[in-house]
A and B are shown apart, each in its own frame.
Chain A
Amino acid sequence: METAPKPGKDVPPKKDKLQTKRKKPRRYWEEETVPTTAGASPGPPRNKKNRELRPQRPKNAYILKKSRISKKPQVPKKPREWKNPESQRGLSGAQDPFPGPAPVPVEVVQKFCRIDKSRKLPHSKAKTRSRLEVAEAEEEETSIKAARSELLLAEEPGFLEGEDGEDTAKICQADIVEAVDIASAAKHFDLNLRQFGPYRLNYSRTGRHLAFGGRRGHVAALDWVTKKLMCEINVMEAVRDIRFLHSEALLAVAQNRWLHIYDNQGIELHCIRRCDRVTRLEFLPFHFLLATASETGFLTYLDVSVGKIVAALNARAGRLDVMSQNPYNAVIHLGHSNGTASLWSPAMKEPLAKILCHRGGVRAVAVDSTGTYMATSGLDHQLKIFDLRGTYQPLSTRTLPHGAGHLAFSQRGLLVAGMGDVVNIWAGQGKASPPSLEQPYLTHRLSGPVHGLQFCPFEDVLGVGHTGGITSMLVPGAGEPNFDGLESNPYRSRKQRQEWEVKALLEKVPAELICLDPRALAEVDVISLEQGKKEQIERLGYDPQAKAPFQPKPKQKGRSSTASLVKRKRKVMDEEHRVNEHWHGPGLPQAAPSCLCLCPCQPATSHSVPVSSPSPVPRTRSGRAFSSSIIRRRRPSPRGPGHLPWTDLCAEPDSRVAWEQSLPKITCREMSVPWNKEVGAVWPLPQLGVDSCLLGWVGIKEESDFLDNVSGSSCGPVPLPLAKHEAILGSEGSVSCLYPHPIPCGCCGLSFAF
């Protein structure tokens, strides 16, 4: 370790002399070559990991700080500079062997970083720009501080490893129970409840309480850690689903007819008749919304803090019995019998997005806690994992022998699927990676078919409800080891719970803020900003921010000829032009072929959005901290009612119409492709050669059909008569390009070759 970090670039020669003169006794923690520095390489001499960024690299840090765009996340924190090497000695004369602040791993810093450093700062006035830069520097500083606090975390996640090539899937629960400590072993238990049929279950948000309801009316809630029963009743009616509300004191039960709410004594508090024939329940804890999916096809949002129905949305897809929530953005995912999954927000009557997932009905949907991956399983026995970060493409697919009826993600990204009476768990490499579907991590066979699954939060436990009762399985590595005491604390006292409840109610997020990107609220509303500017110009009669055209100053005698004036003017104009090019980009090529919506930049609209729409993607939507000059206004949006005014997710309707008209007509085998239909996916056809591709879309009338029409495009030299099945069989991996050639997508730059 360096003993004395240098403030400047060069080592002061005086110090070198000092150290050669008087040799210090070597300490056990020092390297053999103590005579520090030798000037040239100030890097850390024996870093065990290269990833660790030592902050005391003044030269390097300086460069990093200067460059605005850098691939690597950086730690710009300046080292503590010791002007006088003697000053760091304590009273005993010993030197600090680890001077300066502790190193912070880069990945950890990246986890806490909220700004995207790869995007440039918008071109703005010097004052605004400097303010933005200060805000960015502050943000970095905070992320480093937060990363440093990781050291204080007390618990390590669990794991399960087989000895040299042993398959962990072969390890059965009895082995795990035998190997672990008593407290953990006690978490594995079976409740033998054969009498009241298949069970649904739900853990409370803290993971401390468990509620379950059997098909034949048995409802119970207990503190499952201490096994203390809170209540046990029979509602004398079929129980479809059960869910804790914001705390363990309230319980929503979807019964055969209506939705009922009980407290933890089993006393019925409410019977909500506006939610009838509910099949599935989801509770959005930060919005205090209870989402119910019913047999009648309605998705209803009930605000449990005031008892009002916020929205009742008709999904127009028949009976709804597959539902899950995206914990990242509180969007509800519904699975339909036509193979699509639709994404819903209470603010919109239409789905935010529809994803064509399966060639049969969707049986189960689950979204992981970071909102990145969605797992679906369908009647076609396939289990797919989709990327929700804008592409909506399947990342991995696996055909299961029976098909999964129930899916769930754990906090650390483990995926569980219940197939008949077997439960399979898949794990990924790290916390942020999707589960790899090749090899299950664990399997378990139950005494009856699975009816409900959930990982217990903050515990390595999976709860399974089945016909034989409830099983609590041990799954090492499932739960988040370190909880946040102010967010959900399994050990909280009554007072703490009451305080938390008040605070949570105070910061209840309104339902209309639910949209695909929860950070969209922090972005600049460019549309209304520009509209406001336009109005201001109209009102004032001139543009107050307009720059006066450049007028060259008259120069000395003989230098102000007309030609030289024109020359100087031209020079300035060119310069301005260059700057504009640099900041705003050259604009999209007008004749660029359009490609369809499944590209990353235009995610999740209910329409397929043209990429080369008249307005290019605004660069100012940086998602950065606010500059005060940027004003956001919420006013009636020009995009019609129902849209969130501040989300810029959908293109404007008129631009869409223009885009539709500008499209080339594609004649198909049977009919021309109705462009107003929602495009689900596009498949390439290897049989047709490079020049053709297929287009599948979901019609609005015949929802039950998987694909209404499959047709070859006119580009192909030989439009073959194709059977539906051929097209489907040839579909491996979807491609979002209509044109036969690999075309770079206008907004994301990806090219889809096939």
Chain B
Amino acid sequence: MKVKMLSRNPDNYVRETKLDLQRVPRNYDPALHPFEVPREYIRALNATKLERVFAKPFLASLDGHRDGVNCLAKHPEKLATVLSGACDGEVRIWNLTQRNCIRTIQAHEGFVRGICTRFCGTSFFTVGDDKTVKQWKMDGPGYGDEEEPLHTILGKTVYTGIDHHWKEAVFATCGQQVDIWDEQRTNPICSMTWGFDSISSVKFNPIETFLLGSCASDRNIVLYDMRQATPLKKVILDMRTNTICWNPMEAFIFTAANEDYNLYTFDMRALDTPVMVHMDHVSAVLDVDYSPTGKEFVSASFDKSIRIFPVDKSRSREVYHTKRMQHVICVKWTSDSKYIMCGSDEMNIRLWKANASEKLGLTSREKAAKDYNQKLKEKFQHYPHIKRIARHRHLPKSIYSQIQEQRIMKEARRRKEVNRIKHSKPGSVPLVSEKKKHVVAVVK
């Protein structure tokens, strides 16, 4: 007779001293882990609920400006440094970790229309209503020195925006026309126009650094190549575009913030159809900025909220608002892709977490748990119960009621269209998709 009994030595399963960690032998045999799917589902449900419980995105409010904040700029090398320009011509430099203002400059008379940093981070440029472009040193003046710009360029017209080249000592301003400047000269290298209208913003492409995009108040978005004397092409939309932002990861893609409450992501090779129409705002979209990952962007709107959109989704994944935040004029996504800053009418700059429920400063065990929960949420995201919880957001009454109202209007328009198709000869009334509806023309 051969016999062997299961006989465990407790020493192998119990910790030796109280100072040790408990021993936890694992066996991944599925037979020992029944109800895998229902339990994972419940875990995912709990994780989703906890995510909503801990969704506290608001971090800080930086106050100090004495008028509405009109423009924001990131420091290219220091995560903690942020520049802001206000409607009274004041520029402030902030330290985000200490949450205080480290420098104040009375830069312009009237609005500071645009602000941008040089790629090396040693100086920055501002344009204002006083028809000047000024270059400032990033470091403050020495003790007893006057606060003075490095250079000042006096222009003929008002400049409404400025952006710096990502690699070279070249910057572009916009106003009546798009001017491209060498830093050393007082006259633009070249000026480009297409029609006569005021151009509201100009942006350099971060990858294909010679490309520029601008948007004007005659409803068009114009693309330029710095190496050519004339613009490349333009697309005309239904309504005016306020600003555009290039995707930092995909050279061809940019997103336009439009007055018709929508954002349009375009592929510059095929401008006749936007890649995606992002709609959730209930008022004009004033600013947009991409996350450094290029997967998401944040938009600021006149409806007193900011929203975060995935690039490939037409609906926003997040909306931020507070009772005190008024019309948001400018927004930036920080370079570590973790935070969002927005400047608004009521003189404050607000700092938000990009991921509302993210816990800052995780230990390794917490991180493992977070990753596991994230995976679970992803796996079960389409289940109705979980989807409902994950999607739910509280909105201020003004936005909420406006959404309802616009839904009704949209439904009525759609119904009318369906009826028109139904009662006309098949094929005579074409179906126009939502993407194509808003593009009026593409001109080359």
A277 to B26, CA, bound (A): 41
A483 to B29, CA, bound (A): 9
Contacting pair B43 A625 (CB below 8 A): no
Proximity string of chain B (358-399) to chain A, C-beta cutoff 8 Å, 1 when within and 0 when not: 000000000000000000000101111100000000000000
| A733 close to B (CB within 8 Å) | no
In the complex, chain A residues 165-188 whose Cβ is within 8 Å of any chain B Cβ: 166, 168, 171, 175-176, 179-181, 183-184, 187
Contacting pair B25 A482 (CB below 8 A): yes
A112 to B31, CA, bound (A): 10
- Choice from B6, B23, B46 contacting A158 with Cβ under 8 Å: B6
- Choice from B23, B29, B36 contacting A111 with Cβ under 8 Å: B29
Contacting pair A153 B27 (CB below 8 A): yes
- CB of B378 to closest CB in A, whole Å: 9
| B2 close to A (CB within 8 Å) | yes
Contacting pair B1 A183 (CB below 8 A): no
Given A508-B42, A518-B34, residue A175 in contact with residue B1 (CB < 8 A):
yes
Interface centre among A153, A286, A507, A540 (most CB of B within 10 A): A507
| B19 close to A (CB within 8 Å) | no
Contacting pair A369 B31 (CB below 8 A): yes
- Choice from A111, A183, A507 contacting B46 with Cβ under 8 Å: A507
Contacting pair B42 A519 (CB below 8 A): no
CB closest residue in chain B, given A480 = B32
| B59 close to A (CB within 8 Å) | no
In the complex, chain B residues 1-29 whose Cβ is within 8 Å of any chain A Cβ: 1-8, 10, 12-14, 22-29
Given A154-B12, A460-B6, residue A163 in contact with residue B24 (CB < 8 A):
no
| B38 close to A (CB within 8 Å) | yes
Contacting pair B382 A496 (CB below 8 A): no
Contacting pair B22 A507 (CB below 8 A): no
- CB of A439 to closest CB in B, whole Å: 16
| A630 close to B (CB within 8 Å) | yes
Contacts of A157 in B (CB 8 A): 6
Given A160-B3, A184-B7, residue A506 in contact with residue B26 (CB < 8 A):
no
| A634 close to B (CB within 8 Å) | yes
Given A181-B5, A181-B7, A459-B6, residue A483 in contact with residue B32 (CB < 8 A):
yes
Residues of chain A at interface, number, CB under 8 A: 78
Contacting pair A521 B38 (CB below 8 A): yes
| A159 close to B (CB within 8 Å) | yes
Contacts of B34 in A (CB 8 A): 286, 327-328, 518
- Choice from B5, B31, B46, B414 contacting A506 with Cβ under 8 Å: B46
How large, as a class, is the contact surface on chain B? 35 or more
| B432 close to A (CB within 8 Å) | no
Given A493-B22, A628-B382, residue A460 in contact with residue B5 (CB < 8 A):
yes
A736 to B4, CA, bound (A): 44
A664 to B379, CA, bound (A): 48
Given A485-B25, A631-B382, A632-B382, residue A541 in contact with residue B422 (CB < 8 A):
yes
Contacts of B25 in A (CB 8 A): 154, 482-485, 489
Contacting pair B27 A166 (CB below 8 A): no
| A542 close to B (CB within 8 Å) | yes
- CB of B403 to closest CB in A, whole Å: 19
Interface centre among A168, A485, A506, A540 (most CB of B within 10 A): A485
- CB of B310 to closest CB in A, whole Å: 13
Contacts of B46 in A (CB 8 A): 506-507
Contacts of B384 in A (CB 8 A): 632-635
- Choice from B10, B37, B385 contacting A519 with Cβ under 8 Å: B37
Contacting pair A509 B5 (CB below 8 A): no
Contacting pair A486 B5 (CB below 8 A): no
A490 to B7, CA, bound (A): 13
Contacts of A513 in B (CB 8 A): 38, 41
Proximity string of chain A (107-118) to chain B, C-beta cutoff 8 Å, 1 when within and 0 when not: 000011010000
| B196 close to A (CB within 8 Å) | no
- CB of B218 to closest CB in A, whole Å: 34
Contacting pair A632 B383 (CB below 8 A): yes
| A162 close to B (CB within 8 Å) | yes
A460 to B6, CA, bound (A): 6
Contacting pair A521 B24 (CB below 8 A): no
- Choice from B2, B35, B421 contacting A509 with Cβ under 8 Å: B35
- CB of B418 to closest CB in A, whole Å: 4
| A67 close to B (CB within 8 Å) | no
| A146 close to B (CB within 8 Å) | yes
CB closest residue in chain A, given B42 = A507
Contacting pair A509 B385 (CB below 8 A): no
Contacts of A495 in B (CB 8 A): 22
A166 to B3, CA, bound (A): 13
Contacts of A458 in B (CB 8 A): 6
| B33 close to A (CB within 8 Å) | yes
Contacting pair B38 A149 (CB below 8 A): no
- CB of B411 to closest CB in A, whole Å: 10
A458 to B6, CA, bound (A): 8
Contacting pair A509 B38 (CB below 8 A): yes
CB closest residue in chain A, given B39 = A507
Contacting pair B5 A474 (CB below 8 A): yes
A540 to B37, CA, bound (A): 35
CB closest residue in chain A, given B23 = A485
Contacts of B27 in A (CB 8 A): 153, 482-484
Contacts of A540 in B (CB 8 A): 414, 418
Contacting pair B385 A521 (CB below 8 A): no
| B53 close to A (CB within 8 Å) | no
Contacting pair A160 B24 (CB below 8 A): no
A715 to B32, CA, bound (A): 50
Given A111-B29, A518-B38, residue A159 in contact with residue B382 (CB < 8 A):
no
What are 6 of the A-B contact pairs (CB < 8 Å)?
A: A184-B6, A327-B34, A328-B34, A484-B28, A518-B34, A628-B381
**Which 3 interchain pairs have the tightest Cβ spacing?**
A485-B24, A184-B5, A541-B418
What 7 new A-B contacts, CB under 8 Å, besides A159-B2, A521-B41, A540-B418?
A: A146-B28, A162-B1, A489-B13, A491-B13, A519-B36, A626-B382, A632-B384
